[in-house]
């Protein structure tokens, strides 16, 4: 009888150890996904041709804590709409930048942006927030974003500046489709 009890206690301890190990692994994975690195899907054409509909991307989140978002980076953020969709856009301006749209181009601090990521001939039109020939200074704690496919992108030209608090991370990798894998 004692031998069976020892075996039973041994198995119970082993099962408990496995359960604790699995629980710790799940907790670490959850913390990693929440605070360090996450996967996302691109939904829609607003970032074409850089990112296409159904691309799988990975975002890092550590730069959010240091508030080191840079011009030209591609970021994901909470849209603020009722369904809290996640949008993917390119950072055009950071706090203190003066932006203007004129002649189909974006000007930052008086200089025309060289936007090689746009398709040839792509013109930037104004929106309801930032119209053509209007100047806007990005306030502290905010960024100004635009999609690379300007004709269909719902971005800061319509939404206004995006709070750094709304950011989910910045895109560092397009992982799928595999033949277009790219590090940003």
Catalytic residue set: 46, 89
Kindly report the length of the chain.
184
Cβ contact 54:41 at 8 Å: yes
| DSSP-H helix ranges across 47-148 | 62-66
Q: In which region does residue 104 sit, left (phi positive, over 0), alpha (psi from -120 to 50) or beta (all else)? A: left
User: Please, which residues have CB within 8 angstroms of residue 70's CB and are 6 or more apart in sequence?
Assistant: 91, 94
Nearest to 104 by CA among 127, 126, 134, 119: 126
The CB density around residue 52, as the number of other CB atoms within 10 Å, is: 15
- Measured in degrees and rounded to the nearest 5, phi and psi for residue 55 equal -65, 145
Quick check: 172 and 184 in contact, CB under 8 A?
yes
């Amino acid at each position: 009888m004692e031998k069976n009890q020892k075996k039973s206690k041994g198995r119970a301890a082993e099962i408990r150890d496995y359960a604790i190990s699995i629980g710790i692994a799940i907790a670490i994975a959850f913390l990693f996904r929440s605070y360090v690195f996450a996967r996302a899907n691109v939904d829609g054409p607003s970032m074409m041709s850089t990112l296409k509909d159904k691309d799988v991307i990975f975002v890092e989140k550590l730069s959010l804590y240091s508030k080191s978002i840079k011009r030209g980076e591609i970021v994901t953020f909470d849209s603020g709409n009722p369904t809290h969709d996640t949008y993917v856009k390119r950072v055009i301006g950071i706090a203190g930048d003066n932006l203007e749209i004129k002649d189909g181009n974006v000007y930052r601090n008086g200089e025309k942006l060289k936007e090689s990521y746009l398709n040839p001939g792509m013109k930037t039109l104004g929106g309801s927030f930032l119209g053509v020939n209007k100047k806007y200074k990005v306030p502290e704690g905010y960024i100004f974003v635009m999609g690379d496919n300007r004709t269909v992108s719902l971005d800061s030209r319509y939404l206004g500046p995006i709070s750094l608090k709304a950011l989910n991370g910045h895109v560092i990798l397009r992982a799928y489709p595999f033949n277009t894998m790219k590090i940003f």
